[in-house]
Chain A
């Protein structure tokens, strides 16, 4: 149904996708300018690797970094969650289904956009030497998708305690996007800053899967990455569920 709803508003969806292209184009040309000499490396990335990172980022933004936290926060704050709670389905399951359908539409259009960009820009991309890298990257992206879902659900619980949390949600989502490598590879940061950031959950949303695909990680870094990712997935999953339980006890369906 969500898919149908989105496709009913095709112009809105097309405009939204066109907008997302602007960010990818600006980053693509910025890195192209920095790596105009194909023999040169920047931050340890070859030109092909960096442009693959930027275009891969467009795909991962659609697959991982889409969420319904804003809508859900409004629904909670306005008491509209009651309609959902009266149904014989889990709120979590319902949100995940909606999230999945959002991602499906956005990912499908992102694939078309990236393919068109590759053709139009005649971009030379980096393909992994070992096909297993694609499997690792896909696995990391799937776990990242779940991690971001739990983070979003945890953030959405702010609606239980304040109707004025949307501004902070936006600020938080911007911090997450920057810290996940969704604007630029985290290698641009000073080494200490990057190492500290790698202990947080955010780099595992975009930077880690893309670096797995680009085969830029050693076996040790890869194992360590998956362990940290699994830890955060479990921890934030539990925190998110706990926050929902506490929030639902406080929920008074204001305005419903």
Chain B
């Protein structure tokens, strides 16, 4: 475990050097991320100048949904950014080196890039989340509710990891599907707002097929005290199912891998 943590620190250092070497460009990307966060947050605040609730949720509650979406999404970006380069790794034969090295190949693929720009972006998100939480009724903010919120965010990040592994496995199997990860990223847009706004079939699809709602809406609902235990168990089971399934698919893809260019 310590060995892998040291390896992650080393990979993070390499990622930082890469970002620093193109710091002007990185500053532009960072600016874009902050602009997007600020504009959407202001949009939600602006809407509430004209209404008291959206589907029964007040401004701090709706903000909590949006910020929780960002927490889960940014955590996945910070940690699993390496998957975005999987197609290149496979097509250029770099995966062969990962398989030969004395470290888990999936670990190298998933964690080879640490997105420091998202690490900076997550700071205002955490601050705004804390701000939104202060508006919730005190009786709602029990240690149990906060712990449940934390557990469900971890569940969300686990599902995000599983989806990234599935994308990596598919890329190893097909050497294609460069858009798959972007498809997932853009589907995540649906998690910006409470899942309750969508029609029942869409709610079902983003809960079971691509569990965006489980990743983004469930933690906020738990903190607001409107998530049932049945839904909590569904979230934990889905995370376990997705993680197990994705790891099986990854192992299967490696068994089928015949080396592409070496």
Interface residues of A (CB under 8 A from B): 11-12, 15-16, 18-20, 22-23, 25-26, 29-30, 32-34, 42-43, 121, 162, 164-171, 174-175, 178, 183-184, 188-190
Contact = CB atoms under 8 A, between A and B. Distances in A.
A178 B39 contact: yes
Given A22-B186, A26-B189, A33-B55, A167 B43 contact: no
Interface stretch (B190-198, B243-251, B252-260): B190-198
Contact of B28 (A26, A42, A167): A167
A174 B39 contact: yes
Given A162-B24, A171-B32, A174-B39, A25 B51 contact: no
Contacts of A18: 183
Given A25-B198, A170-B32, 8 more contacts: A22-B190, A29-B193, A29-B202, A168-B27, A168-B31, A171-B29, A178-B39, A189-B46
A121 to B, nearest CB: 8
Interface of B is mostly: helix
B260 to A, nearest CB: 19
Contact of A166 (B28, B31, B190): B28
B179 A188 contact: no
Contacts of A170: 28-29, 32
B35 A188 contact: no
Given A25-B202, A29-B199, A34-B47, A171 B35 contact: yes
B202 to A, nearest CB: 7
Contacts of B202: 25, 29
Contacts of B43: 183-184, 188
B189 A34 contact: no
A178 B35 CA distance: 10
Contacts, number: 102
Interface in B1-60: 22, 24-32, 35-36, 39-40, 43, 46-47, 49-51, 54-55
A167 B25 CA distance: 5
Nearest to B195: A29
Contacts of A190: 46, 49
Interface of B: 22, 24-32, 35-36, 39-40, 43, 46-47, 49-51, 54-55, 176, 178-180, 182-183, 185-187, 189-190, 192-193, 196-199, 202
A174 B34 CA distance: 10
A121 B55 CA distance: 19
Given A15-B179, A26-B192, A29-B198, A183 B39 contact: yes
Contacts of B182: 15, 19
Contact of B197 (A11, A33, A121, A183): A33
20 contacts: A12-B179, A19-B183, A26-B190, A26-B193, A29-B199, A29-B202, A30-B54, A30-B193, A30-B197, A43-B50, A165-B25, A166-B28, A167-B24, A167-B28, A171-B31, A174-B36, A183-B39, A184-B43, A189-B46, A190-B46
A109 B22 CA distance: 37
A26 B162 CA distance: 24
Contacts of B29: 167, 170-171
The winner among A11, A121, A190 for most chain B CB atoms within 10 A is A11
A182 to B, nearest CB: 11
Contacts of A175: 35
Contacts of A178: 35, 39
A23 B189 contact: yes
B211 to A, nearest CB: 15
Given A23-B189, A26-B190, A188-B47, A165 B183 contact: no
Contacts of B27: 167-168
Contacts of A34: 47, 51, 54
Nearest to B28: A167
Closest 7 A-B residue pairs measured CB to CB?
Answer: A167-B28, A168-B28, A19-B186, A171-B32, A164-B25, A15-B179, A167-B29
Contacts of B32: 167, 170-171, 174
